[in-house]
Amino acid sequence: MSFDSSIAAGRSTTGIPNGRLAMWTLLASEIVIFGGLVASYLLYRFHNAYWAVEASHTNVVTGATNAFILLTSSLLIVLAQNAAEAGDGKKAAKLMLATVGGGFLFLAVKSYEYIHEIQHGFTIGANPFWSFYYTATAIHSSHVVAGMIAIYIVSLGAAKGKNLQRVELCGIYWHFVDLVWILLFPLLYIVK
Partner 1 sequence: MGNAEHGTNYYVKIYVTLLAAIAAVIIIGPIVGHFAVIMAAALVIAVYKASFFMHLNVEKHWIWLFLITALICLFALFFGSAKDIMMDEGVSWKRCNAINEQNRERIAEQTHHVAEKRPDLAGIALPPGVDCVKQRF
Give helix 128-159 / helix 165-185 axis angle, nearest 10°. 160
Given the rule CB under 8 A, which of 2-10, 75-83, 105-113, 143-151 is the region that contacts partner 1?
A: 75-83
Q: Annotate each residue in 122-161 with x if it binds partner 1 (CB under 8 A) or - if it does not, as one string.
A: ----------------------------------------
With contacts defined by CB under 8 A, how many residues of the chain interact with partner 1? Answer: 51
CB 172 within 8 A of CB 99: no
Smallest distance from the beta carbon of 161 to partner 1, in angstroms? 16
**C-beta closer to partner 1: residue 36 or 146:** 36
* By the rule CB under 8 A, 119 interacts with partner 1: no
d(CA 182, CA 3): 32
* By the rule CB under 8 A, 55 interacts with partner 1: no
The DSSP call for residue 14 is T
Smallest distance from the beta carbon of 87 to partner 1, in angstroms? 9
Q: Annotate each residue in 6-35 with x if it binds partner 1 (CB under 8 A) or - if it does not, as one string.
A: --------xxx---xx--xx-xxx-xx--x
* By the rule CB under 8 A, 43 interacts with partner 1: yes
Given the rule CB under 8 A, which of 98-106, 146-154, 155-163, 165-173 is the region that contacts partner 1?
A: 165-173
* By the rule CB under 8 A, 187 interacts with partner 1: yes
CB 81 within 8 A of CB 168: yes
Long-range contact pairs involving 146-153 (C-beta distance under 8 Å, separation at least 24): 147/103, 147/173, 147/174, 147/177, 148/100, 148/103, 148/104, 151/77, 151/96, 151/99, 151/100, 151/103, 152/96, 152/97, 152/100, 153/3
d(CA 112, CA 104): 12
Long-range contact pairs involving 119-126 (C-beta distance under 8 Å, separation at least 24): 120/57, 122/54, 122/57
Determine the residue type at 66.
N
The contact set with partner 1 (CB under 8 A) reads 14-16, 20-21, 24-25, 27-29, 31-32, 35-36, 39-40, 42-47, 60, 64, 67-68, 71-72, 74-75, 78-79, 81-82, 85-86, 168, 171-172, 175-176, 178-179, 182-183, 185-187, 190-192
